[in-house]
Amino acid sequence: MASFESKLVELSCLLAAQGGSVLRLVTLAVEAYFDHNEPKAAQVIALDDEIDTVDVAIERQSIPILAMGQTDENAIREVLTLVKVNNELERIADCGVNIAEQVVGHLKPAESMPPTFRVMANSVLGMLRDSHRALVDNDPELARQVLLFDDTVDRFRNELLLQAQEQVALGSISVHFAFRITTATRNMERIADHCTNICEQTIYLRTGKIVRHRPEGWSDPVVPKAT
């Protein structure tokens, strides 16, 4: 019979592969969006079906592992963390699909996306890449660096949404195109939020410390008080 440790390694490897697939999906979605490439956008939607299948498989595999009677707190925490990260990855993939769906079946808009959106998209792709690497490499410091970048993404979001509102008021862009900007921007922001959740879990898993978000920014991890 396989041991708890071997089952946990198997689950971790499956999650690492899932993270790589999600990164590929979002990268394809962004490329499809900028190039208005319908075949590539359709590829994103097809890839999401595979990610959904693995999502269910990870959740199902975690149940018998927890049922093996492991009593070590750290070991149990690792299984639960993998399940939480799996959920975050599935939601990131959904955001990527939302972006790709702005391409499939739609005419290429005459207007060009604001340069800030491309900077924001590249920044979020970097956050996704590094959050995945932090989890796979057990690197809480890299995870902390990803958290520190979340406020920058929020500033990009605010700038893009405000700019879209102003340009609609001036008649510079159509309401339809402003909606397109808003949809893509909000989905990229959500991906960044899910990345920060993954990094919080990575830090907690490897150090036992909790990261809190305050108005002035991300705080240093702290050890939770005993209850």
The rounded radius of gyration (Å) of the Cα atoms in the chain is 19
Is the CATH code 1.20.58.220 the one for domain 4-218?
yes
CA distance 75 to 190: 30
Per-residue model confidence as pLDDT tens digits over 34-70? 999 999 999 999 999 999 999 999 999 998 888 887 7
Residue 62, token pair as written in the block: 């975690």
Q: Domain spans of the chain? A: 4-218
**SS3 label, residue 108:** coil
CA distance 43 to 55: 18
CA distance 187 to 29: 11
Provide the whole-model pTM.
0.89
Per-residue model confidence as pLDDT tens digits over 76-122? 888 889 999 999 999 999 999 999 999 988 888 888 889 999 999 99
